[in-house]
């Protein structure tokens, strides 16, 4: 998959996380949980976008690896929100599926770039 598809998917995911955070606020979910999911869920796309202007391959890989870490953290917070009945099963499955797809794309991209580098 091309990098532009990854940028599009991560931006769309970030938008969905912002919408989720609004719903969580309206439902008076603990602010710390909202801030955590909002921070890491939107950071994935921000780092992918920033990678576009990386100062070489190592910097590019580093940005994608940061995105990968943020995706893993996002998966944790989504799971916690679901297991504490803060989000519905439908929302959880949808967002989790998108996050896993993005994580897989990031793993594939990083692996390919590292293999080309060596």
Q: Residue 7 belongs to what domain range?
A: 3-117
Torsion (CA) 74, 78, 84, 86 in degrees, nearest 10: 120
**Phi/psi at 28 (nearest 5 deg)?**
60, 40
How many distinct structural domains can be found in the chain? Answer: 1
Q: Which two tokens stand for residue 98?
A: 């998108």
pLDDT tens-place values along the chain, 118 residues long? 445 899 999 999 999 999 999 999 999 999 999 999 999 999 999 999 999 999 999 999 999 999 999 999 999 999 999 999 999 999 999 999 999 999 999 999 999 999 988 7
CATH code (residue 105): 1.20.1440.60
């Amino acid at each position: 998959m091309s990098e532009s598809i990854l940028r599009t998917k991560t931006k769309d995911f970030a938008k969905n996380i912002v919408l989720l955070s609004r719903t969580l606020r309206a439902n008076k979910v603990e602010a710390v949980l909202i801030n955590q999911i909002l921070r890491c869920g939107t950071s994935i796309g921000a780092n992918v976008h920033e990678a576009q202007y990386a100062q070489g391959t190592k910097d590019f890989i580093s940005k994608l690896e940061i995105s990968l870490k943020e995706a893993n953290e996002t998966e944790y917070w989504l799971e916690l929100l679901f297991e504490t009945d803060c989000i519905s099963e439908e929302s959880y499955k949808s967002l989790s599926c998108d996050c896993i797809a993005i994580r897989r794309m990031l793993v594939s991209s990083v692996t390919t770039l590292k293999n080309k580098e060596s």
